[in-house]
Amino acid sequence: MQSRASSSSSRRFRGWTPKVDSDGVSEREPHGPPGYPALADREAVLDALSRLIADAWRSFEHPRPEEPAIDAEVRERLADPLPEHPLDPAQTLADAARILDESVSPSRPLYLGYVGSTGLEVGVLAEALAATYDVNLAVTARAADLLERQAVEWVAEFIGYPCAEGAFTSGGMISNLTGLLTARERALPGCRAEGFAGRRGAVYCSEESHHSVIRAAEAAGIGSDFVRRLALDARRRLRPTDLEAAIAADQDAGVVPIAVVANGGTTLTGAVDPLAEIAEVCERRGVWLHVDGAYGLPAAATGIAGPLFAGLERADSAILDAHKWLGLQKSCSLILVREAGALEQAFGHEESYIRREAVRNAVERTLEYSRPLRSLKLWLAFRTHGAAAFRAWIERTLGLARRLADGVRADADFELLCEPTLSTVCFRHLPGAVTDLDQHNTELAAAAQEDGRIYLASALVDGRACLRVCFVNFRTREEDVDFALATLRELGERIASA
């Protein structure tokens, strides 16, 4: 009889499709007690689901003339009491799809607000597979551990970062917190067990850094009062001279510098801090350098924007959200660390219910315990599309931002508030008859959402209300940019004349 090990080794991995067991296990009744919640007709339900997904994918290929309102039947269905008895699975799926179709989806090509995604089709396949097997990456998960490690290495290679270890997390908030906790243990050894013990620490970032840095400092016990939010230069970047002065002042006052959080593309305007100059300061002062590249770091892989990220390789840690500019579904964030063992220094532990085996458990390098195989989406996307396609897609969205900025500059009815660094454009509508431009542009953003042809949001840049557009969706085309600007002009003139 052939052993299980030899049988496994004889499989051809590339293109291998799992078969049913030779004893016909797949033909048996579901294994479980009476009432076990298995679907009665799996194939029919899967067919119904595949049709719903295909319909959704087709709907993403073209902009909608408007976003549908929530209809009365959906509202009524969502007020139903808890079902006591089973409902038809196919009908339930259809109801769910209808509800989602009446929700705001970043997969649509004219979703231009906030930092969305593209809803890559391969991500749906990965989510289905990952949910089916429900691998838990808290403890060792065998082959899934290797897949996650490979995905981390591929991302690091893609952006040009010398990563020694990394982990996937639920989002930029947890990735930034992971980075700060790792930096905290390096700056204040033993604080995991002892707390700060009367010591004080500080974190340094620019005024435009994401609020997740503040939240992370609060969660790490550093305190938001000890986050030094420093002024911006003309390109909305952190000034290295101001940074060094702030660090020196804290050191003189007995405050321990824990980390500098440099921006690899701010959420508000896409600004990228001067990483090489900041790295010089951090190395001179002995401070951990963390790069928040949740939105912008994929641009480091491109020829167009890559030079903006010079010095990235000197950062101690960096984060990236693949559910933003890499087009994948939430959640798929990751943290990369330059030095092996740093994550385990911050999170390593041993419990009686999680014993160390031949390899370390992933939970000893991460904040989270139960952790799904988020990396499968990115692993499958890189294998399906290739890194070159991602670079081309990112460069095209960079071009869309330039096209919109050029259109705004050429039109006297609009004002560009700052030159776009990456794919985010902040601008205002300037109708001659309006005196309160802040109120007008806030109303214009709300009118655009209500109109439904495009989706964007208002923002505040230096205290001025504006329209903010972020191009990260690979489905958005050049003609969509022109359409968006024309639509905003039409809506803005209507509001101004009302």
* DSSP of 367-402: S-SS---THHHHHHHHHHH-HHHHHHHHHHHHHHHH
Rounded to an integer, the average pLDDT of 417-421 is 96
Measure the CA–CA gap between 180 and 367, rounded to whole angstroms: 11
On whether both 256 and 271 belong to a single domain, the answer is: yes
Q: How confident is the model at residue 102 (pLDDT cuts 50, 70, 90)?
A: very high
Split into its structural domains, the chain has a count of 2
DSSP bridge pairs for 466: 459
In 10 A of CB 255, how many CB atoms?
A: 16
* Stated pTM of the model: 0.91
On whether both 377 and 440 belong to a single domain, the answer is: no
Measure the CA–CA gap between 194 and 313, rounded to whole angstroms: 32
Host domain of residue 439:
388-497
Report the range of poorest mean pLDDT among 83-97, 157-171, 285-299, 312-326. 83-97
Q: What's the number of CA atoms in the CB half-sphere (13 Å) around residue 79?
A: 6
**Residue 100 included in any domain:** no
Beta-carbon contacts of 196 under 8 Å, excluding residues fewer than 6 positions away, are 188, 221
Q: What's the number of CA atoms in the CB half-sphere (13 Å) around residue 496?
A: 18
Q: Among 336, 364, 385, where does a domain finish?
A: 385
On whether both 340 and 434 belong to a single domain, the answer is: no
**Residue 35 included in any domain:** no
DSSP bridge pairs for 321: 333
**Residue 52 included in any domain:** no
Structure token pair of residue 164: 């020694």
Please give the pLDDT value at position 148: 95
Please give the pLDDT value at position 155: 98
Beta-carbon contacts of 230 under 8 Å, excluding residues fewer than 6 positions away, are 204, 205, 206, 207, 238, 239, 242, 243, 246
**b/e code 461-472 from CB counts within 10 Å (16+ = b):** beeebbbbbbbb
Residue 482 pLDDT greater than 80, yes or no = yes
Better-scored residue on pLDDT, 352 or 7 = 352
**Residue 92 included in any domain:** no
Q: How confident is the model at residue 206 (pLDDT cuts 50, 70, 90)?
A: very high
Please give the pLDDT value at position 131: 94
Structure token pair of residue 404: 């919109």
Better-scored residue on pLDDT, 350 or 438 = 438
On whether both 273 and 171 belong to a single domain, the answer is: yes
On whether both 272 and 214 belong to a single domain, the answer is: yes
Rounded to an integer, the average pLDDT of 86-107 is 92
Residue 327 · residue 118 · CB < 8 Å: yes
DSSP bridge pairs for 497: none
On whether both 380 and 411 belong to a single domain, the answer is: no
Report the length, in residues, of the chain: 498
Q: How confident is the model at residue 1 (pLDDT cuts 50, 70, 90)?
A: very low
Residue 65 pLDDT greater than 90, yes or no = no
Q: Among 360, 385, 410, where does a domain finish?
A: 385
Please give the pLDDT value at position 337: 98
Beta-carbon contacts of 276 under 8 Å, excluding residues fewer than 6 positions away, are 310, 311, 314
In 10 A of CB 325, how many CB atoms?
A: 32
Rounded to an integer, the average pLDDT of 79-104 is 92
Measure the CA–CA gap between 29 and 483, rounded to whole angstroms: 56
Residue with tokens 């049988």: 7
Structure token pair of residue 35: 């009432």
At residue 312, what is the residue type? L
Residue 484, class by beta-carbon neighbours within 10 Å (0-12 exposed, 13-18 middle, 19+ buried)? buried
Residue 26 pLDDT greater than 60, yes or no = no
On whether both 367 and 398 belong to a single domain, the answer is: no
Helix (H) or strand (E) holding 335: strand 333-337
Residue 404 · residue 481 · CB < 8 Å: yes
The whole-angstrom distance between residue 304's C-alpha and the CA centroid of its chain comes to: 22
Q: How confident is the model at residue 433 (pLDDT cuts 50, 70, 90)?
A: confident
Measure the CA–CA gap between 118 and 322, rounded to whole angstroms: 11
On whether both 233 and 283 belong to a single domain, the answer is: yes
The whole-angstrom distance between residue 183's C-alpha and the CA centroid of its chain comes to: 22
Residue 14 pLDDT greater than 80, yes or no = no
Q: Say if strands 333-337 and 165-169 run parallel, antiparallel, or are unpaired.
A: antiparallel
Please give the pLDDT value at position 309: 98
On whether both 363 and 437 belong to a single domain, the answer is: no
Rounded to an integer, the average pLDDT of 19-47 is 70
Q: How confident is the model at residue 67 (pLDDT cuts 50, 70, 90)?
A: confident
- Indicate the angle between helix axes 89-101 and 42-60, nearest 10 degrees: 10
On whether both 245 and 308 belong to a single domain, the answer is: yes
CATH code where residue 417 lies: 3.90.1150.170
Residue 398 pLDDT greater than 80, yes or no = yes
Please give the pLDDT value at position 360: 74
At residue 309, what is the residue type? F
Residue 22 pLDDT greater than 60, yes or no = no
Q: How confident is the model at residue 364 (pLDDT cuts 50, 70, 90)?
A: confident
On whether both 420 and 378 belong to a single domain, the answer is: no
At residue 47, what is the residue type? D
DSSP bridge pairs for 416: 427
**Residue 451 included in any domain:** yes
Q: Among 332, 360, 385, where does a domain finish?
A: 385
CATH code where residue 344 lies: 3.40.640.10
User: ∠ CA(271), CA(277), CA(278), 5° rounding?
Assistant: 70
**Residue 90 included in any domain:** no
For 296-348, the pLDDT digits (tens) are 999 999 999 999 999 999 999 999 999 999 999 999 999 999 999 999 998 98
**b/e code 11-23 from CB counts within 10 Å (16+ = b):** eeeeeeeeeeeee
